[in-house]
Structure 1
């Protein structure tokens, strides 16, 4: 399927539907990826109508008279006009209320439901509906507060997504005193349960956000990037997707691309109901700015209400790449990094495969404008490009269950001042400050009563120092944590980005009560166990020893680092447990273990030279990100092959940040610190002067490169003295020009000499005696990428040569005189002669085709 997709994509650019003007063209073809969905509840009401309305999109709206049993009102009025400039006949009739009135709908299937309210101020002699001011609410959430439409030609459709858990849904219309309320049409339709999951990612801080299913939502924007309008006809769930052009800033920096929707393939776990394939078949990408370094972002800007949080669903599908692992880019929201180094190849394992990401942006992270940006990864990682296929901006209900205004259905007021919605953020800050003060008092109390401390289920001693001065402590929000069982664990997770809180019992079950048979790693901190959590995901569970002061220090350092690091070449932290004085971290499971195991000592199949290059490049990217990607650079301080882990696809990721240090600031040249690391990898300058810089990591990485090339340990005391230290030994042979004499024997004859030369040069530069003479990790990465290009070019040339030789041999065989071959009979006597090869045989035809192919 991957090969098929890659072949189809270039062709699809020429045969796909032509995108000319996003304001004038409407897609009217059926979505090839549409799947049937039968809603359990489907109420379509044409309010004020006297007959059924059949719309061109296939929907049938019943009249108010047919639906009278749903409506409860003492005084109302039905009005209608013969025609008007409206998109649908349902806007030509209306029901008007002069006092509180309700619609009640019986829910056959509780769960997510669309509620779509249609409004148009129908001209009538009874009421001037442009002066109507009213509110609409359910029993649980305020949908509209003091709503009005003051333009006689303006129509509006308000779309909401509510998780209805009761047997009845009530829509209450409440006009302001001496005013009226009106409604033209109502839709109450079931939505798939999979449409909104419970977990997303918060923007500030970047962490798991749980509780999405407890909110109600209003659709503010739904855009089809790079494409035309998608009407409800072409969306199984009846949604409208608008073009993104009106919201695009600096349009010269962006361009559109589209392919045939038929090539879009949905992976397991992503339902076509999330978005139709028409959304994924078009995208907006970076334009050719005709500059040497195209380092710019594509930007969209939207007006929003800053008093509310928003669920941002970003849709991606790589329809621009010609091959895998060629597209990496960043996503920013209001100037904050939302996704770093997005790698669709790793996430989807194929081209033209949909992927979406849910990001929660709290009010504290927003202003009156929402700005979405995509831009290059700023590393030498392939094509300099970035794409976005679709975007949904959903307003989230606030703490008083309102989607409009500061009052809840029970009259609860969000803010005591009420002078400005912007005060909401200040109130949230004050609440967090109060929580901080209260927490401080509780910590002091616990400190005075150590016997109570042991009985607590959260805040083990190894976590406390991190809370004392963490700058982001007060930036958390009410629902920004993972699925925590402990209130304080929730706060801790949400502010530091530690993801999900696991109870000790959950991890006992996941690891079979920490069975020794499940141990996959051992260190000074304790053991690492293979575990399976509740959703079936395999994880690595690092259980520390609380009695070890050194272990506590390394755990604290690892938490501090991982709370601010997210990169595809760094092992991800999934969650933690701090129950009963345990200190446990839960990581993504790296199926293929340490790089070292694939080089020597484990009798595993040897990695090919190309695989070794790709692994080295991945590790270099991770280190380069550490040095340059964070706000303040980070020095790993323990770079070695056992800390480079490989996932199921042999993607390399740096791990173990227990010894890491923040890099020196602009005013500093180094960090003075005690020497720590692993023998054989230690920077000699760091060892002599106890002054740490990022070039210390570069030195260690040079040792790793020779370890990859020679497939032997950095230090091997069993060897003769001159061979004990790999770096010194390999450098001696490199200077002699005889490095090929000491490389891994499995590479002999398959490694391209030029590729090996470039690789060895990179390693040699890393091992310079003085840090100022060593390259940056960015330069190392460039050299490794070049070595890979040399190897691939050599392999392609060799393959072309083999094909050419095969074609020539086949052609020669076809042109040779035909041979007579005697066929044996049943008693092995000679039989009549037949031609083994003729001019019309398949062999000759095959030779001819090969010749033509090679000729082209």
Structure 2
């Protein structure tokens, strides 16, 4: 009985039901493991590093941080260090305000330091070759024997120069340096003091990272193309930003990184909006971004553009980051669509230092919402301007997606230069990799100094001569005529800085006011106005007299003493955009005179003011007469005449000026109408000189107005006259359809007028979107010829678009057809119509070429009496 009792307590055979449950739970367990392996939700899984050297230098014992990491003391790591002489230094606590890139949990590492009086090296053996973090901590601890703020030293990682002649002069700040290097075998960290100085270090990290963290290829921004040499470089982390979110400390990062908030680096003027979701909802694709690329906390927060923003200028999201010039940079952008609804789309552009990095269709790239994605860009050292990198996201001009752009994270890493250094052009062995030897450089400096000295003496001589010819009353004017000076003699460009354009006038031109004005009149700038004259003309620049506002400032309606109405453009002294636009406008208008271009009457340069005076266009911009106001609607004939006038103005710019000019901002608000509804092109602030005979295009940063922008120019940044032609094609459809060129409130396919009109035309439905005020009055032949010209203007590639002379021909022909309809009896349909002469693309003085006889029976019926009247029609 006793034995039977014990057997009952022992193992028993499985029943069928037990076996079923066992296999069921085994299946669930493996399914869970499989899902985890796919990485769909993983966010904070820490990488198991084969190499993990954490050293608290100078500390007598190990230091455990709040983030869970343990830094060994120098005593435990003594076998790694080779030095002849070193000193320990320590403080009880650190009460300094650290930057947001240094988490508070790291503060204990700054309490101790190792001071090296001679060359010293940490030799750390690498268990697994590949990418490794090297993180260095510096704080000049007060020491009775050694003032660490005087320490000057270099730090090398093998043949890589991490720091050259480095020092920490501020004893109130903590310094953290982070590098990413590809090593094998061992890492030798050498600290080399300058002669009669010493080196120090507070803490060191050398930690493995996954090889997948850095791919070999990236998108090159300047020049555009592919960059396939990332694995040959080393990197220094300059910025690691959690966009739209709080600081992320090493505890919450998969590779013990710190991500700081982006607030102090963004330059959002308006239209930005923060977004966030639960990190648990973030997914990682099978190929691409992984939890090691960035933790889900990064992808779970973002900044994006509000849907209500409709203009490209206002929709850009901008981050400005100061960097060292002379280096190339790896820029990594992290994206995750956490703002779209189901089937939503995000299609936007990335600009780096005002250059197009690429257009991203995020929905297509990720195939799902809340899915991590990143994109690497390389910015060449020659593209670093003003010691900064500007990253911008903007809504795509092609409008293939919704009006939104998003960024979740931003990393900027300096790439080692030709000296394999992050700090100058000296290599680890002391050789110099600059463009020449020091002696050669000194000779160049001396030669440059001599040239500058001679130039300075010549400049002083010119100043003296001009001073002798100063105008009467110069001391009362507080003038700054120097901003007009480059037009006075040669063809040199305007002064290059805002400050120089604000200097008081040094040069007069005549000794009388009339002579002064006459001098500038000969330069094409018209009459000189005193500031008091323009104050009186505008009732002391009364806000009620404002008729327009732009980046330059405001435009006022003024009345001169003789009763002439003028438009007075007063520059905003604080607007850099305004200064640049003023310079361009003066340069252009001083060379241009045409019936269909707004004329410059004069200027004022007193009391640090930049004021230009133009003829007043009493009927204002063309757009106000088409839609958006209570003004009477224009007839179809009036619209044709206005378009012909604008086309003639643009044709003159492209072919008739001494040097061809590209307007670059053609739109209905820049086509003004006088009292007789004669159209004149205005606003030359963005204009550019056209390419010369040996050039095919002008390379320039993309500027223009959203909706009118040539997509080819937008993609390539190559500007030609055909970019104006595209914009004018948009204007033609805007005049025909009387609606906004961009209307986000409409269905997606109708948002862009250019795309919608072309689509309707291909489907034979264009009549349905024509302005109802004129739809019934348009002759079918006139409409056909008009749309034919507009359609050619909107060709995808500039080489397929006509010149403005051909566009003008189509418009004049459309006007003839319309006038013929209103004057000819409908039953006579056997006449022939003579098309207007095509203006030559190389001569804007008037029509040229032979007349073309066109059979057009289906479009117009012309009787013999009218035939002679319209045969020589030239348009208005």
TM-score using structure 2 length = 0.47
Whose RCO is larger (CA < 8 A, sep 6+)? 1
Q: TM-score, normalised by structure 1?
A: 0.48
Q: Which has the larger radius of gyration?
A: 2
